[in-house]
């Protein structure tokens, strides 16, 4: 008996055979699911809200209401869980046939613990976002301070260069370029950054670099 290596494609691909020539010939995609739906035998919802324990058919062991002391209730459930585990150990030794009830009680405590922890996820997300924003603000402030420090250093170097050029006289330039190179009476001297440009009518143009 011959079998195919791969299963054939689903038959609905034929509905899109004329899609390139006429895109309107293909059926529209199904609309997004709203509300609850079933996937692999489990119920899901499109509402991004944590369902209550009552909606899940679980008995709630901690007080109801928005003002829940998470720290206190988690500690209380943790102590209760430890006691039930010890009782389960005793039951398994003395009355093994009665362990099922203890296991159900432990499962109920775990479900309440998980629900409390999941209820804290929004608070954790906000705290994490605040921490990330604070780090970004700190890095930006540090970058601004570094830019200010570099600017002050550049301004200081610029002032030193200006001060050096302001104190430079014609005789200093003439002495640096050499008295025998140009005729002082026929020479024009210009400042150009850290250089002195010497223009001589008799000898052309020469350039002297300050040291």
Residue ranges covered by each domain of the chain: 11-119, 169-211
| Terminal alpha carbon distance of the chain | 97
Task: Report d(CA 180, CA 183) in Å as an integer.
Answer: 8
* Residue 20: per-residue pLDDT: 84
Along the 211 residues of the chain, how does pLDDT read in single tens digits? Answer: 566 678 888 888 888 888 888 888 888 888 888 888 888 988 888 877 787 888 888 888 888 877 888 889 999 999 999 999 999 999 888 888 888 888 999 999 999 999 999 988 988 999 999 999 999 999 999 999 999 999 999 999 998 888 887 766 555 655 655 544 444 444 444 444 444 444 444 444 444 444 4
DSSP per-residue string spanning 28-47: PPPPPP-SEEEETTEEEESS
Task: Report d(CA 168, CA 197) in Å as an integer.
Answer: 13
* Residue 141: per-residue pLDDT: 96
Q: Which of 69, 64, 77 is nearest to 107 (CA)?
A: 77
Separation of CA 203 from chain center: 67
**Under 8 Å between Cβ of 102 and 89:** no
* Residue 169: per-residue pLDDT: 58
């Amino acid at each position: 008996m011959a079998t195919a290596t791969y299963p054939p494609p689903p038959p609905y691909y034929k509905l899109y055979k004329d899609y390139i020539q006429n895109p309107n010939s293909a059926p529209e995609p199904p609309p997004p699911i709203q509300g609850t739906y079933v996937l692999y035998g489990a119920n899901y919802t499109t509402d991004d809200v944590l369902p209550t324990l009552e909606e899940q058919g679980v008995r709630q062991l901690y007080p109801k209401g928005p003002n829940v002391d998470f720290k206190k209730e988690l500690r209380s459930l943790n102590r209760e869980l430890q006691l039930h585990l010890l009782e389960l150990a005793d039951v398994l030794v003395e009355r093994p046939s009665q362990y099922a009830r203890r296991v159900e009680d432990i499962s109920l405590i775990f479900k309440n613990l998980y629900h409390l922890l999941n209820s804290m996820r929004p608070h954790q997300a906000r705290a994490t976002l605040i921490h990330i924003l604070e780090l970004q603000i700190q890095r930006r402030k540090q970058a601004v301070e570094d830019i200010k420090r570099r600017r002050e250093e550049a301004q200081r170097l610029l002032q030193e260069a200006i001060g050096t050029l302001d104190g430079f006289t014609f005789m200093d330039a003439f002495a640096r370029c050499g008295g025998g190179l140009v005729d002082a009476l026929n020479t024009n001297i210009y400042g150009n950054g850290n250089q002195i440009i010497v223009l001589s009518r008799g000898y052309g143009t020469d350039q002297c670099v300050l040291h």
